Amino acid sequence: MRLAPFHERLLHAVLPVFDRYGLVLAGGHAMRAHRFTDRPNADLDLATTAEVPPVAEGVRAAFRAAGLRASVIEVTPRTGRLTVEDAGESCPVDLMREVFRRPPVRCGIVPVPSVEDTIGLTMRALHDRGHARDIIDVASVAHLYAFRELEGLGRAHDDGFEPYELASRLECAEFIGDDEFLAHGVDPRRIAEIRGFARAWVEDIKLRRVDDGDADLDDPDLPDID
């Protein structure tokens, strides 16, 4: 996995405290480490099983020991954000407390969540916010998992995971501008494939409403059945 030069510098700066705080490289970089995507990332996501405040202080100290300017912007027991700067470059570093279902794996010099945890956390992000990068990342594993399997991976990291909430996020893929996808290195052909993937998933979820007794076949919100 190749990182942007500044991101690589930050990662090497904080690696000495990875074992101390049980840190793993998460987010889009973990998807890249597993070779699912190659899209660029604007930030650095680190996950830990420990409470975040002492981790944030330890990470900040590691950056400063490497000659970087680092500030903790916000911190809670479960999340934190730092900003790291040097020589005109800046990068946000997000910290998250997570529960991993499987042991992390090592990709090169850095540990990352297992494949299942990486995809599950990405599914949670899609369910919670539905940004372009989230649907890009989830679509990159569409050939490996059925819709319900992906939902199961997301549910493992979010007790409040609901397919109907997910459907509303997926429907928004139609309204995300091409420029947002293009900014993540996705070409027009792939944009069309991603939107088609999202539409198919929405239809699958809506048809389940009939099976579950939550909707009638003549519900106008349901897709046509051939």
Per-residue pLDDT of the chain (226 residues; tens, 9 = 90+): 788 999 999 999 999 999 999 999 999 999 999 999 999 999 999 999 999 999 999 999 999 999 999 999 999 999 999 999 999 999 999 999 999 999 999 998 899 999 999 999 999 999 999 999 999 999 999 999 999 999 999 999 999 999 999 999 999 999 999 999 999 999 999 999 999 999 999 999 999 987 776 544 445 554 453 3
At residue 111, the pLDDT reads: 97
At residue 215, the pLDDT reads: 47
Burial of 15 by CB count in 10 Å (0-12 exposed, 13-18 middle, 19+ buried)? middle
Grouping H, G, I as helix, E, B as strand and the rest as coil, residue 193 is: helix
Nearest CA among 66, 216, 201, 203 for reference residue 147: 201
Instruction: Please give the C-alpha separations between residue 174 and each of 33, 43, 178, 203, 223, in angstroms, as whole numbers.
Output: 28, 25, 10, 14, 16
Instruction: Tally DSSP H helices, then E strands, for the chain.
Output: 10, 7
Residue 112 near residue 119 (C-beta atoms within 8 A): no
For residues 207 and 219, give the distance between their C-alpha atoms in angstroms, rounded to a whole number: 10
Nearest CA among 142, 110, 144, 129 for reference residue 30: 110
Residue 82 near residue 63 (C-beta atoms within 8 A): yes
Verdict on whether the full-model pTM lies above 0.85: yes
For residues 192 and 24, give the distance between their C-alpha atoms in angstroms, rounded to a whole number: 33
At residue 211, the pLDDT reads: 72
Structural domains in the chain plus CATH codes: 1-113 (3.10.450.620), 114-226 (no CATH)
Residue type, 51: E
